[in-house]
Amino acid sequence: MDHLKQKMKPTVKVLLLVSCLTVFLVFMSGYLKDTPLSLDVGSGSPCQQCLSDDQWFAARFNKSVEPFLSAEHTLPKDAFNWWKRLQGERGSYSAYSKTVEGLFEIVPPKPDLVEPSSYRCRTCAVVGNSGNLKGSRYGPLIDFQDVVIRMNTGRTKGYEADVGNKTTHHIMYPESGMDLENNTHLVLFPFKIQDLLWVTKALTTGFTGTSYMPVKSKIKANKQLVMVISPAFIKYVHETWLQKKGRYPSTGFMALVMALHICDEVDVFGFGADRRGNWYHYFERLRSQKLRTGNHPGIHEYEILLQLHRQRKITYFRGW
């Protein structure tokens, strides 16, 4: 009998350890997210957060707007005419259509998306580049998400403890182009027809055009995972979400609204200024305390982010 008890002890210890670990993880989940979430999202739903309609949110969120270009949908001409003014595009709608047709000969004509389901919650981390990520130690929490969206020149090497090292989607435009891992989606944020041509050429023969700053001729990325944000979606974000404030949305705000369209739960990191009110990137040295947000309505975007957090549509991790 004593011999049997000795054999059972390791099993009991393992069970106790698992129980303690489960309690700890549940506790930490509520602790790390500074606003506990307990919304009822309907029977059978595995997700905590809810995109159900309320007056403020319903006036902005339009699920029918497609985030990405697809051969299945034609860009409305009014959206093209609005989009072409962003950076003085002179090309015609016909030139745009021909360029998109050539693009879909290189990259998939339909975006690679995880479809919603009643038994799986698509979790998403939108990781901005704010200096408030320094010392945050959010890395493991970010890497735990199904979808991790980064943007522009955001990097992970050397900053893993604060920003993680997983990237499933990287949003960029030609002037912020960078090489990606083979399992990362390149998400193009286009401002002009040349941007569409750039991603086509940069992934094949090489791009030879010029822009307002140097552009990489070739980049490393998986052509089968390329996705292009639709000009109609950019217009929707600018007019519906930002109420036409600023010239156009920032990459970060585009990523946030995009995440609301493709994920069930959205956690946001690295947005806004640091505790002293400075706007800068975590991977750069702060050289000027007068930096602001350029053509983007940064303060207004930040207020919308906070409103989404208060309404529990997203969870915002401030970093300080």
pLDDT band at 225 (very low <50, low <70, confident <90, very high): very high
Cα dihedral 271, 276, 279, 284, rounded to 10, equals -100
Tell me if the pTM is above 0.95: no
Whether 4 has a pLDDT exceeding 80, the answer reads no
Give the separation between CA 25 and CA 213, rounded to whole angstroms. Answer: 47
Q: Per the annotation, does 3 bind a ligand?
A: no
Q: Region 130-150: what's the mean pLDDT? A: 95
3 a catalytic residue: no
Q: Where are the alpha helices (DSSP H) in the chain?
A: 2-32, 55-58, 77-83, 93-103, 139-143, 160-163, 193-202, 231-236, 251-262, 298-310
Q: Per the annotation, does 248 bind a ligand?
A: yes
Q: Per the annotation, does 261 bind a ligand?
A: no
Which of 2-6, 40-44, 45-49 has the highest average model confidence (pLDDT)? 45-49
Give the separation between CA 231 and CA 16, rounded to whole angstroms. Answer: 55
Q: Region 229-242: what's the mean pLDDT? A: 98
Half-sphere exposure of 4 (CA within 13 A, CB side): 1
Q: Region 78-102: what's the mean pLDDT? A: 97
Matching CATH number, 37-317, of 3.40.50.1980, 3.40.50.880, 3.90.1480.20, 3.90.1150.10: 3.90.1480.20
Whether 295 has a pLDDT exceeding 90, the answer reads no
pLDDT band at 114 (very low <50, low <70, confident <90, very high): confident
Give the separation between CA 295 and CA 226, rounded to whole angstroms. Answer: 27
Q: Per the annotation, does 252 bind a ligand?
A: yes
Which one of 138, 173, 236, 248 is the catalytic residue? 248
Cα distances (angstroms) measured from residue 272 to each of 63, 113, 123, 266: 26, 28, 22, 17
Question: Which of 125-129, 150-154, 283-287 has the least mean pLDDT?
Answer: 283-287
pLDDT of residue 284: 74
Percent of all residues in the chain with a pLDDT value above 90, rounded to a whole number: 69
Higher pLDDT, 279 or 149: 149
Tokens of 83: 């989009």
Domain extents for the chain?
A: 1-32, 37-317
Residue listed under structure tokens 């034609």: 74
Q: Region 55-59: what's the mean pLDDT? A: 93
Whether 26 has a pLDDT exceeding 70, the answer reads no
Q: Region 308-316: what's the mean pLDDT? A: 95
Whether 309 has a pLDDT exceeding 50, the answer reads yes
Amino acid at the residue 85? R
Give the separation between CA 277 and CA 9, rounded to whole angstroms. Answer: 56
Whether 47 has a pLDDT exceeding 80, the answer reads no
- Contact between 316 and 268 (Cβ < 8 Å): yes
248 a catalytic residue: yes
Q: Per the annotation, does 132 bind a ligand?
A: no
Tokens of 314: 């997203």
pLDDT band at 319 (very low <50, low <70, confident <90, very high): confident
Q: How far is CA 4 from the centre of its chain?
A: 55
Tokens of 42: 């309907």
Q: Per the annotation, does 281 bind a ligand?
A: yes
Q: Per the annotation, does 81 bind a ligand?
A: no
pLDDT of residue 287: 61
pLDDT of residue 116: 84
Q: Region 59-63: what's the mean pLDDT? A: 95
User: Residues 242-290: pLDDT tens digits?
Assistant: 999 999 999 999 999 999 999 999 999 999 877 777 777 787 776 655 5
Which one of 238, 296, 309, 316 is the catalytic residue? 296
Q: 185: part of which helix (H) or strand (E)?
A: strand 185-188
